[in-house]
Amino acid sequence: MGFLDTLKAKLSPAKEKVGDLAHQHGGKIDQGLDKAARTVDQKTKGKYSDKIESGTRKAKEAVERLSHKHDEAGAKDEAGATGDEAGAKGDESGTPPGTPPAS
C-alpha cells in the first residue's frame, strides 16, 4: 500500500464527518462565509470585492458538494446499490451495460 492509499484510508472517516457536518449546518456555514466576506471587503475598502465574491461562491459550492456527497452516500447505504450501479453491471443475458433492451 502506497503513501497516498494509506493517507486516503486514514482521512476517510474525517471526510465522512465533514460531509455530515456540512449537511447538518450548511445554512450556518453559508451565513458565516457571507459575514466573513463582508468583513474582509469592508477592511479592504472594496479593493478586492470581485475576488472575495468569487472565493465566497467557490467555498459555498464546496460545502454544497460535500453535503450532496453525504446525501448520496446515505442513500446508497440505505438502498444498497444505486440505480446507476445496478444498470452498470449488465444483465445475465450477456448484454453489455448501457445497451437498451431489445424491442
33 three-state secondary structure? helix
Q: Is residue 57 part of a domain?
A: yes
The count of domains in the chain is 1
Q: Is residue 99 part of a domain?
A: no
Output the CA–CA distances (angstroms, integers) from residue 34 to 18, 58, 68, in the order listed.
20, 12, 21
Q: Is residue 54 part of a domain?
A: yes
pLDDT 10s digits, 57-90: 999 999 998 888 766 666 665 555 444 444 444 4
pLDDT for 11 beyond 60: yes
Exposed e or buried b per residue across 38-66, where buried means at least 16 C-beta atoms within 10 angstroms of its C-beta: eeebeeeeeeeeeebeeebeebbeebeeb
Q: Is residue 94 part of a domain?
A: no
Q: Is residue 3 part of a domain?
A: no
Q: Is residue 89 part of a domain?
A: no
User: Domain limits at 25?
Assistant: 12-81
Q: What is the pLDDT of residue 39?
A: 96
Q: Is residue 103 part of a domain?
A: no
Q: Is residue 76 part of a domain?
A: yes
pLDDT band at 100 (very low <50, low <70, confident <90, very high): low
Chain center to CA of 5: 20
